[in-house]
Structure 1
Amino acid sequence: MECLGCNLANKHLPVHVVFEDEHVCCFLDHEPFNEGHIMILPKKHVYDVEELDETTANSIMKASILLSKAIKKLYHPDGITICQNGGVFNELTHYHMHVVPRYNGQSFADFYSEDDVIIEVETKLMETKMKIIEAVGEILC
C-alpha cells in the first residue's frame, strides 16, 4: 500500500491502537496536542468525508463517542475538539478524524501551532494507550 493512512489504519506501520472494529482503527496521535489525542481512520481508503459510505461513517461517529467518553473519564478535560481536515489540508491523503482533549486557556489556533506540539516518547504513548484501552473496556461493559 502506498497511502500512509491505509498503512496506519491497517497496522502495516507501528501505531498505538486504543480501539478498532471491522471498519475503523483508532490510535494515539504521535504528536499529540494533549495526552489522549486520538486519530480515527477508516481501514479502507477514503480521501475525503463525502466519500465515506454510511456504515463507515457510522463506525467513525460511534468510535468518536466512545473515545470521548474514555477521554473525559481519564483526563477530565474542559472540552473535546473533534475535527477532520479535508482537501489540501488532509496531510495523510486519507480521511481521518481527530479526537482531542482540551483545557481552558487553550486556543483552537494553538492546535496548529508547531511551538505547542509535544512529541510523545514511546514509553508515554504505551502508558496512555493502556489507560485508554482500560477506560474503553469499562465503558463497553
Structure 2
Amino acid sequence: MQEIKDCLGCRLSNKTEDIYMVYEDDYVTCFLDHAPFNEGHTLILPKQHFLDVDELDDKTANAIIKASILLSKALKRLYQPDGITINQNGGVFNDLTHYHMHVVPRYKGQWFGEFYREEVVGEVDVRELERVRERMVEAIAEVMVSEELK
C-alpha cells in the first residue's frame, strides 16, 4: 500500500496521527472531522495515497461508497438530520493533498455555502469528540446488525 510520509492524509488514514475513528476496513478509515460543520461530521480517507477521485482504483472507490452509505445510515439513526451532504474537493481545493470525502448531517436553514467558511467556529473539546465517536461507533454497529438481519 502506497503511503507518503509527509502526507497528513496518509498519516491520518493509517492512524499514525491522533484521530477519532468511527469505522475502518481494509481500504478506508473513517473519523470525525476536528472542526465539524455539525456534530457527526465524518471524513472518509483511503489508506492508500490518492490525490483526486479520478486516481482511485475500483476497490478503494467501492469501499468509499460503501462507507458513505454506512455512515449516512448511522448519522440518520443518531441525529435525525433533514439530509446528509456528501462531498469531496479536488485539485487546489483539496486541503489535505489526499483524497477524502465528507459525510455531514445537515438541517433546514443551513446554507450550503456555510460549509466552505474559512474560519473555524470555536474550539472543539476533545471530550466532546470522544463522546460523539462513541455514539457513532454504537450507531454504526446497530446499522451493521440491522443490515445483517435483512
**Both structures adopt the same fold (TM-score exceeding 0.5):** yes
Aligned with residue 27 of structure 2, among 12, 23, 27: 23
Unpaired runs of 5+ in structure 1? none
Alignment match of 1:127 (pick from 131, 138, 142): 131
Structure 2 stretches lacking a partner, 5+ long: 146-150
Q: TM-score, normalised by structure 2?
A: 0.91
Alignment of 1:42-81 (within 5 A): 42-81=46-85
Indicate whether 1:9 and 2:13 are aligned: yes
- Per-residue CA deviation, residues 12-40 of structure 1 (Å, 9 max, x unaligned), is 00000000001000000000000000000
Query: How many residues are matched?
Result: 141
AA partner of residue 135 (structure 1): A
Larger CA Rg, structure 1 vs 2: 2
**Could you list the per-position Cα deviations for residues 30-81 of structure 1 after superposition, in whole angstroms to 9, with x for gaps in the alignment?**
0000000000000000000000000000000000000000000000110110
What SS is found at the alignment partner of 2:105?
strand
Runs (4+) of structure 1 exceeding 6 A deviation are none
1:87 matches 2:91: yes
Pair 1:16–1:44, CA change in 2 (3 A): same
1:101 is paired with a residue whose SS is strand
The CA distance in 2 between the partners of 1:5 and 1:74, in whole Å, is 27
Q: Distance in 2 between matches of 1:119 and 1:76?
A: 24
Q: Is the 8 A contact 2:35 2:120 kept in 1?
A: no
Counterpart Cα distance in 1 of 2:26 and 2:48: 10
